[in-house]
A and B are shown apart, each in its own frame.
Chain A
Amino acid sequence: MEKIDNNKISSWWLLVPTSFLYIITFFIPLITLLVMSFSRFESSVTTVGFYLDNYEKILTDGITLKIFFQTVELSLMITLFCLLLGYPVAMLMRRVGPKARLWILLLVVSPLLTSIIVRNVAWVLILGRSGMINDLLISWGLISKPLPLMYNTFGVVLAVVHVYLSFMVLPLFAALSSINNSLEEAAASLGAKPLSIFLNVTLPLSLPGIMAGCTLVFILSMGVYLTPVIMGGNFVVTLPMLIEDAVRNRYNWPEASAMALLLLIAIGIMIVISSSIQKWVKS
């Protein structure tokens, strides 16, 4: 058992300012939410009390849970694609000079600087039934009917990866750039092949960056609701869309709160598991 020394405990003082902020802006709203989630919503009227209606509904209606798992699946897919596309870019950023790095950074962040809806309108022009890709493929005679490139999961994943890639690249780059080059060079001087250096030195050392990037992208993806609406033509449903619907169209805060807490708990568990895995891999 590790002995907790005072020196280490004293580091926790650094958490105090943020904790104060959170008490007002997060924990109190969270308590409101908790109370709400146990309230009853009947004939449009909310009764505060201790009812399990909302949780019962979520667990037994046969759809909310399904959508929840679909959202997890979608988010994992998005995270994986972000990692696969983002890692090489982060590697490149580490390897090029400062100016080129700045340009790459700008390009990576640029999708975030545009409004989500306009961005999606641009995607329609590229991926739509009479969009550029389909037009091109048809004029080349490769296909005879337009491919369904959007208004489905593909379109949603593509559009979300497009905008969230920066949340993968930046932490990856931050982690990669803290790795001392001499480690890799030492391995090379000992005759290791580039691939084995990457697998045995670079990749393990960049693990915190991978975890950070994946955490950010995964959590953000669990929250998407506007992109599925437009890029998925509403056919791809995520849990946040259900929450939105409960709030916007039915004013059913109790049910929305219960769903939000479900999301919070599930992601909390996933964060703890992923950091345990990280610790385990490290040791």
Chain B
Amino acid sequence: MGKKLMSNLEGYRSLWPRRILVIFSSLVLFFLTAPLVILIIQSFTNESYLSFPPPTYGTRWYTEVIYSEDWQNATFLSLTIAIIVTPLSLVLGTLVAFGLERGPKKGKQTIQAIMISPMVLPHIVLGLGLFKIALQFNISDSLWAFVPAHLTITIPFVIVTVGASLQTFNTSLEEAARSLGASKFWAVWYITLPIISPGLIAGAIFSFIISFDEFIITFFLATFQRTLPLEMFSTLMYQVKPSIAAVSALTLAITAILTVVLMFRGQVVGGGKIIK
């Protein structure tokens, strides 16, 4: 991969001492991946606890995780929530980001601070507040509670990432399109959105992951339903089992496979083609 990276780099006209950049970034990326490599190795243990290096290797924990109904249900629920939450959060958050960026400058900061404040409130207290409302409506332990709750904490991430992209976006392009007769909506649709797509994608990734990882609020709202983080937690509070490492490794593997598929389909995340 390093070679590929270099060859890609070589084709690019750089203004920056790129070797230093590549070396430094590689170190950072190594720092990011080292614990995960250990985790993956650990997940292939045959023992009932985590240790490194594992005394014996095997796929015992993968078998357990894949065939366990608990893990299946938890994965299904977590994915369902995240798949519903991500597009909704992206749309709602992007609307807010546009509203803030294009609206009057006066009061913008305050409104922005308010709109992203759900991110700030410690989840445990937000969890209780939401739980009391869910109790009133008798909807706790269902998607009707999980989805709005997750949306509340994911939308701020979209507002921040899309907002940042919008700020660097040069509106003259959009104005040019409008001067050529495009309506406001289509000008945004065809000009602005593609250019800010890295921001949109970052927002979508964050929404998905935040929802997929959310623990405390879901803990309050759930009774019998268990999301993946809840399942992991109840397991982990009792014992650090290798099954958790297997689940993590599986999540990583699935993400990596999706990435490769995306790559082969040419639908490159990060809007590379657009920017070039």
Interaction A to B: yes
Chain A interface residues (CB < 8 Å from chain B): 2, 4, 8-9, 11-15, 17-18, 21-22, 24-26, 28-30, 32-33, 85-86, 88-89, 91-93, 95-115, 117-119, 121-123, 125-126, 162, 165-167, 170-171, 173-175, 177-180, 184-185, 188, 194, 197-198, 205-206, 208-209, 211-213, 215-216, 219-220, 222-223, 240, 243-244, 247, 253, 256-257, 260, 263-264, 267-268, 271-272, 275-276
CA distance A25 to B150 in the complex (A): 10
- Interface contact B113-A14, CB-CB below 8 Å: no
Which of B96, B118, B229 is close to A26, meaning CB atoms less than 8 Å apart?
A: B118
- Interface contact B149-A264, CB-CB below 8 Å: no
Residues of B within 8 A of A96 (CB): 5, 8-9, 12
- Interface contact B25-A88, CB-CB below 8 Å: yes
Which of B29, B36, B121 is close to A264, meaning CB atoms less than 8 Å apart?
A: B121
Is B183 in contact with chain A by the CB < 8 A criterion?
no
CA distance A2 to B106 in the complex (A): 8
- Interface contact A171-B21, CB-CB below 8 Å: no
Residues of B within 8 A of A213 (CB): 164
- Interface contact B16-A177, CB-CB below 8 Å: no
Residue of chain B at shortest CB distance from A103: B1
Q: How far is the CB of B13 from chain A (nearest CB, A)?
A: 8
- Interface contact B148-A125, CB-CB below 8 Å: no
Is B33 in contact with chain A by the CB < 8 A criterion?
yes
Is B46 in contact with chain A by the CB < 8 A criterion?
no
Q: How far is the CB of B61 from chain A (nearest CB, A)?
A: 12
Name the interface residues of B1-29: CB closer than 8 Å to any CB of A: 1, 4-5, 8-9, 11-12, 14-18, 21-22, 24-25, 28-29
Q: How far is the CB of A79 from chain B (nearest CB, A)?
A: 14
CA distance A33 to B163 in the complex (A): 29
Q: How far is the CB of B100 from chain A (nearest CB, A)?
A: 7
- Interface contact B271-A177, CB-CB below 8 Å: yes
Contacts A95-B16, A112-B209, A118-B244 hold; do A126 and B8 have CB atoms under 8 A apart?
Answer: no
- Interface contact B104-A275, CB-CB below 8 Å: no
Which of B125, B157, B213, B273 is close to A98, meaning CB atoms less than 8 Å apart?
A: B273
Residues of A within 8 A of B157 (CB): 216
Contacts A97-B11, A240-B122, A267-B120 hold; do A113 and B209 have CB atoms under 8 A apart?
Answer: yes
Q: How far is the CB of B126 from chain A (nearest CB, A)?
A: 6
Name the interface residues of B122-158: CB closer than 8 Å to any CB of A: 122-126, 128-130, 132-133, 148-149, 151-152, 155, 157
Which of A33, A122, A188, A272 is close to B42, meaning CB atoms less than 8 Å apart?
A: A122
Name the interface residues of B221-276: CB closer than 8 Å to any CB of A: 229, 232-233, 236, 240, 244-245, 247-248, 251-252, 255-256, 259, 262-263, 268-273, 275
- 24 example contacts (A-B, Cβ-Cβ < 8 A) are as follows A2-B104, A8-B103, A12-B104, A21-B152, A21-B155, A85-B31, A100-B5, A101-B268, A107-B29, A110-B32, A114-B251, A118-B244, A122-B42, A123-B35, A170-B205, A173-B270, A174-B161, A178-B169, A178-B195, A178-B275, A179-B168, A212-B161, A223-B122, A271-B116
